Each structure stands twice: as C-alpha cells, then as structure tokens.
Amino acid sequence: MTLPARKPFELPTAITITFRSENNKITAHALDFDLACTGETREEANKKIRLAIRTYVEFGFLNQWSEDIRYDAPQEFWPPQGTKLEVAEPIEIMSKDFLVYNASQFAHEDREAAAVAG
C-alpha cells in the first residue's frame, strides 16, 4: 500500500464527516484527515470523531508534524457531487473554528443527533 503524496500543509476551510452503518454500529469518517471512529449511535460516533480530529491536529502541530497532518481519504469514500450535506456545529482547533459538513448514507434517519453535531 502506498501513502498519498505529501502536500504543503494547509488545514481545510471545512471538514467533511460521513456516517454509515456497519455491523449494528455507526462509523464516522473525517474525510479530510482519513480518521474514523465507531459508536453504538450516530451521536456517540460523532462525539468521538470530533474529539479525534481536534486531538490529531493539535498533536501534529505541537510535534511540528504539520506536513503529515492532512491526508484526504481516498476518493471512493467521499460523497458523490450533489450530495446534500448538513452544516454542523464548528470544531474549534487551536483557537480557530472549522466548519463541519455531515453526509450520511442514511440521511435524516437519526435526525435528533444530526441537528446538533457535537
């Protein structure tokens, strides 16, 4: 398996998170960093992925690994163009807010958890 080519470091202006159901669990996938977390519910998976994103980025910065932080997930995991994305609560990373967009294979199935992401 080959790793994606390194790019000059640049944080995304927005973070895209997808949710999918697998084996009676919900997986949240932060596509801009290729990070994934699993929970019993969408709300649990969402809380975990938001913490993972923040921790991952801050840890990378603190260790001066900025060139290694940003790796997009492979294109096959991104929602198709035209997919309706939900705007979620921003994630604050190092005193900067990042917009969050949620996409789901089961859109609106878990409406309460999707209404306030975080």
For residue 7, is it within any domain?
no
Instruction: Assess contact for 15 and 21: CB atoms under 8 A.
Output: no
Residue 8 banded pLDDT, cuts 50, 70, 90:
low
* Assessment of whether the complete model's pTM goes beyond 0.95: no
- In CATH, what number is assigned to the domain containing residue 81? 3.30.160
Question: What's CA 116's distance to the chain center, in Å?
Answer: 15
pLDDT digit string, tens, across residues 100-114? 888 865 544 444 333
* Residue 67 belongs to domain spanning: 14-112
Helices (DSSP H) in the chain: which residue ranges? 42-62, 111-115
Nearest CA to 17 out of 87, 70, 66 is that of: 87
Looking at the domain assignment, is residue 4 inside a domain? no
Instruction: Provide the number of structural domains found in the chain.
Output: 1
Residue 36: pLDDT above 90?
Answer: yes
